[in-house]
Each structure stands twice: as C-alpha cells, then as structure tokens.
Amino acid sequence: MSHDAAAQALANADFTLIARRFADAGWAVGLPAEGILAVSAPASDGRRPRLLLSVGVHGDETAPITMLACLLDAISRMPAALACDLMLVVGNPAAIAQGKRFLEVDLNRLFRTQREGLDGMREAARADAIMQAVSAFFGGDGVNGDGLRWHLDLHTAIRPSRYPTFAVVPDVIAETEKPGLLGFLGAAGIGAAILSGSAAGTFSAWTAARFAATSATLELGQVSALAGNDPGRFADTRAAIDALLRRGKPVGGRMPEVFRVSQELTKHSDAFRMAFGKDTVNFTPLEPGSLIAEDGGTAYRVGKQTEYVVFPNPDVRPGLRAGLMVVKTSFPQVQG
Ligand SMILES: [Zn+2]
C-alpha cells in the first residue's frame, strides 16, 4: 500500500486493512466508534503499556495523518513488534472530509463537562464519543493497573513558528513522569515544550487530568493539504513514536526549551482586539509591559519578563481562548 493510499484511508477513518492485519495475528481489535480503533495483545493482562495516538482533532491538520498512516502501515505488517496496547483516534472525520478545522465549534475545547452552551454542536457529540472510548481504554479511574498510559495528540499549527515543532504539556502530569516525557519530546525533534496549567478543554489536558496519563499536544509544522504531505517530514518524530510503539517505553533525548504559561488570553466579547496581527509568528517575544490585547475595558499586558505569544487567534468565539502568553523556565523548577 502506498503512503498516499494509507494516508487517505486514515483520513477517511478507514481502519479496515490495519484492523484485519492485527486481527489475523490474534490481537483483540475493537472499533468502539467511527474513526477509533483499539488493539490489544493476545492475553493482554491490562498491564501492558497503553498508548493513545490521536490525529485530525483539527480537520485541516493533515501532516500527522500522513506520518501516523506510514507508521501504522509498517507496524501492522508485524503485529508482534507492537509492545503496547494501542488506541488510535481520528478526531474529527467530518471536518477532515471537508478540509476544515471544525464544522461548528473547535473540538479541542470540548474535552470537559462544562461546555458553556456548546452542547448541541456536532463536535460536542464527537467529543462525547471519543471520551467514552478513551475511558474504556485507559480504564475508568485508573483502577486497571499502574502501567504506562501515554497520549500523544498530533497537530499542526495554523501559523509559522520560531520553533517549527513544539508541544503543549499539561502541568498536572506527575513530576516523576515529566523528565521522561520531555526527553522523549526532545528525541522526537520537538524544539520547545510549554507546561500549561490550564485545561482549556483540550484532549491531552483531559487525558492527563482524568487518567493521570502522560500526555502532550504536539504541533508539527503547519496546516497543509493531505495530498502534498511529504512522508519524510518529521522523521525524528516518526522515529521516536515508532520506538515507543516497539519498546513500550520512550527513548530519551536532549531537553527541548521549556516554557510555562504566564497568562491565558480569553476572549470575553466581540470587542476583543489584539495589539499585533493575527499572522504573528508563534513564540514572537513581547517586551515587559507592552500591550497584548484589549477587550472592552480590560487590557492584557506583558508582565515583568519577556513573554512569547503562542496560538494567537482573535477569531474564536467569545468565552474561548484567543491565545497564550508563555515565559522561559528552567526544568525542573517548573513553578518558576
Ligand atoms: Zn490543531
């Protein structure tokens, strides 16, 4: 199967070939909802490492779909090489089909119970289906053993970045797990990691908080069309995930630059205005005291040290996050 065909099948949330290869090898295969595949080893006692890989939570972020499709095509040809139980989630197949980030509302704000009036949206039903399947996989309240639970949510950023690849790491992850995760991210070619104490309804924040999973959102390059993706891109990321699949534990590497969130820009009204263009490059530095954004009578300003802007997006719905400000920090003094 060509890389293009494998990528198109995954983009279509079609696991037929992958599922058949694992099933033929005697693995337990489940399809708990559209675009979700669970495979577990024959005679798995629930203590094998459990790895959740998700792509397409934003429907126009296709590069990770191509990368993951290539990985899955390879490892499904030799199921015995898979050292963990695996769940694959294609986040928003309906949006992928339309080449859109989302249909009605950003799916990656809905992984929480409080949804501020967004419950009737199509993405809310999708978030519910994903949360139900993941809950079964990770084992409710974590009662099914203490084995490794990892979640990598693979994205691409909307805009260019001073760090071409970076990650957002939920700060709730156990301190004992952070060095291993950060080292893995470094090995995966991730240049910067942002420790975020805010849930913001993201998929990775939810798995970290709900299941004590070692989770991260990876931003791999920029939004692009599926057909134009070069399977050779992000070779380091691909190799590190491949090693995780085959070893059941992470490889280590040099630490990425570590940041922590200094402030979260919430858009409270349609009067929200940023002090810089929406095409601002991720990790652009802003000097202490300078204006970041205004929202009616509220002004957001940089604090006492240089802050860097990430994910500036003034076009979100009021009530949602319009951007993050981060500061450099040294690990492990993450509380700065
Ligand atoms: Zn995304």
Q: Which residues pair with 28 in a beta bridge?
A: 40
3-state SS string for 241-309: HHHHHHHCCCCCCCCCEEEEEEEEEECCCCCCEECCCCCCCECEEECCCCEEEEECCEEEECCCCCEEE
Whether residues 139 and 251 share a domain: the answer is yes
> Which tens digit of pLDDT belongs to each residue from 40-86?
988 766 678 999 999 999 999 999 999 999 999 999 999 999 999 99
**Number of structural domains in the chain:** 2
**Residue from 219, 264, 287, 294 carrying the catalytic annotation:** 219
DSSP structure string for 37-88: EEEE-TT--S-S-EEEEEE-SSTTB-HHHHHHHHHHHHHTTSGGG--SEEEE
Starting from the edge strand earliest in sequence, which strands make up the sheet with 149-157, in order? Answer: 28-33, 36-40, 85-90, 50-55, 149-157, 214-222, 165-170, 192-196, 257-266, 321-328, 307-310, 284-286
Compute the distance from residue 99 Cα to the ligand 1 centre, in Å: 13
Whether residues 93 and 153 share a domain: the answer is yes
Compute the distance from residue 259 Cα to the ligand 1 centre, in Å: 19
How high is the pLDDT of residue 34? 96
How high is the pLDDT of residue 222? 74
> Which tens digit of pLDDT belongs to each residue from 84-136?
999 999 999 999 999 999 999 999 999 998 887 888 899 999 999 999 999 99
DSSP structure string for 130-176: HHHHHHHHHTTTTTS-S--EEEEEEEEESS-BSSSEEEEEETTS-TT
- Given 222, 257, 292, the domain boundary residue is 257
CATH number of the domain enclosing 312: 2.40.50
Tokens read off for 143: 């009662």
Is-contact 64 221, C-beta < 8 A? no
How high is the pLDDT of residue 206? 96
Q: Within 13 Å, how many C-alpha atoms sit on residue 143's CB side?
A: 4
Mean pLDDT split into 10-residue runs, the chain, 336 residues: 87 96 96 96 78 97 93 95 96 97 95 85 96 89 64 90 94 93 95 89 95 95 74 86 94 92 93 88 95 93 96 88 92 49
Compute the distance from residue 311 Cα to the ligand 1 centre, in Å: 10
C-beta atoms surrounding 42 within 10 Å: 10
How high is the pLDDT of residue 276? 86
- Binding-site residues for Zn(2+), in ranges, read 58, 61, 155
- Assigned domain for 16 exists: yes
- Given 257, 275, 298, the domain boundary residue is 257
Tokens read off for 229: 């993706």
Whether residues 191 and 285 share a domain: the answer is no
Whether residues 144 and 282 share a domain: the answer is no
Compute the distance from residue 231 Cα to the ligand 1 centre, in Å: 19
Compute the distance from residue 101 Cα to the ligand 1 centre, in Å: 8
φ and ψ at residue 162, rounded to 5 degrees: -65, -20
177 is known as an active-site residue: no
Whether residues 189 and 312 share a domain: the answer is no
- Binding-site residues, in ranges, read 58, 61, 155
Omega of the bond leading into 332 within 30 degrees of 0 (cis)? yes
- Assigned domain for 114 exists: yes
